[in-house]
Amino acid sequence: MVVLTGVSGFIGSCMLTYLNQHGFERDVVVVDDFYKLYKEKNFDGKAVREFMHRDIFLEWFEQTSQAIDFVIHLGARTDTTSQETEIFEELNLNYSKRIWNVCATRGIPLIYASSAATYGNGDQGFTDDETLLHMLKPLNPYAVSKHQFDLWVKQQDLTPPFWAGFKFFNVYGPNEYHKGRMASVIFHTFNQIRNTGKMKLFRSHKSGIEDGHQKRDFIYVRDVIAVLYEAMQYHQSMPSGIYNLGTGNARTFLDLAVQTFRSLGKGTDIEFVDTPLDIRDSYQYFTVADMEKLKRTGLKMPFTSLEDGIRDYVSNYLIYEKYY
């Protein structure tokens, strides 16, 4: 039996679909805050063994005698603009510690979601060398909570038989309709083009970087879940550790916007606006995953190009408001 947390969310709901497609149907216990009804379409019609609210899951997990073969922990508070440090500490740090401790005590393999936001402004580079973890300086409470858990994990003597923390870079794709401001730039680009015929991108406030030339490592969600599934299937031959999960290729927001216009069959019309003050100081101008560590594991990583990913996302999902 597999436990999957965060199933109402963007990546978690896609992960459930992928598990269903690979034969995991009535043997998946899914966890989330199911009072948030606006997320229901993310998991509607998918096969699960049991839905369990996150408020009762930990007690069940610590006491159940049922055989659990694997835990995929993707649940988290992910709002990078929020300053509510207590909520991040409760949901992203302490909740994750309790899951870790049960997995370590009972010998259950564990995958959990970290974040590329832990790299802060990138001054220390984007290498997943764990000896350099203490040098990272995340820029917002969300990133701090993810970084604190990574640091705590590395201090533990009692560990699951296999564990992997994946630092997700800029993930985009279906099932992010509920995310509002936190949805991918591709999602916002599509909606702005559909509603106004043009797209607004953030102006650069950093010397030497042109407007629209801020760069990110954009990775399609279907590639993310494929890697997580591979890690679950072949964990016995994979070293435990913290791994980057991006494409290893940084692309500009201008590239992204232009391809979205093309996928809609429209001419490019872009306007640059000031980056909002509440995120300007914590805004990352460049991210790119160093993927060498994950490559050495031998996992299959046939990453989708930005052009192909946007084309698939726009043409097969966004236009029809379809879910994966």
Catalytic residues: 142, 179
Cα 110 from Cα 244, distance rounded (Å) = 16
Cα 47 from Cα 50, distance rounded (Å) = 9
Return the HEC string of the chain.
Answer: CEEEECCCCHHHHHHHHHHHHCCCCCCEEEEECCCCHHHHHHCCCCCCCEEEEHHHHHHHHHHCCCCCCEEEECCCCCCCCCCCHHHHHHHHHHHHHHHHHHHHHHCCCEEEEEEHHHHCCCCCCCCCCHHHHHHCCCCCHHHHHHHHHHHHHHCCCCCCCCEEEEEECEEECCCCHHHHHHCCHHHHHHHHHHHHCCEEEECCCCCCCCCCCCEECEEEHHHHHHHHHHHHHCHHHCCCEEEEECCCCCEEHHHHHHHHHHHCCCCCCEEEECCCHHHHCCCCCECCCCCHHHHCCCCCCCCCCHHHHHHHHHHHHHCCCCCC
Q: What is the amino acid identity at position 175?
A: N
Which of 253, 250, 264, 247 has its CA nearest to residue 304? 247
Using only the alpha carbons of the chain, give its radius of gyration. Answer: 19
Query: Is the four-CA dihedral 8, 13, 19, 24 of positive or negative sign?
Result: positive
